[in-house]
Amino acid sequence: MALWHSDLRVSWLAQWVSLLLHGTAILALLLAPWPARLTLVWMLLLTLMVFECVRSQRRIRGREGEIALLEAGQLQWRQKRWQICGRPWMSRQAMLLALRSAAGEKEKLWLCRDSMDEEEWRLLRQHLLPER
């Protein structure tokens, strides 16, 4: 029996934050004074930053889909059962869950407020906030 259930959407907040961070790093690389002998290094770093930005956007889009919070701090996500390790980090707009599967796989899952309905966000926070 699921305590909470949602169909995650792509988070526009996560996409914008990722683009902002990567864009700032790319801009810093472009504006920094580089000696001519390091042009190859500069081009390599710039290329790696662009590819990392694209990879980040793909990972964010890959977080879509069904997710459910089960009893005993377990999460059903990507057709696997995950254990929530430790206390989740939470802000008003996002939360970070450290997950571990039965096979020993580890995953860090960012959930943003705009990736689900407002009521689903409130319920999830209630279930994961420590009792006082």
Q: What is the pTM of this model?
A: 0.81
State pLDDT tens for residues 2-58.
Answer: 899 999 999 999 999 999 999 999 999 999 999 999 999 999 999 999 999 999 999
Q: In the chain, what are the domain boundaries? A: 4-9+67-128, 12-61
| pLDDT band at residue 132 under the 50/70/90 scheme | very low
Q: How far is CA 16 from CA 27, 39, 76, in A?
A: 16, 30, 27
| pLDDT band at residue 131 under the 50/70/90 scheme | low
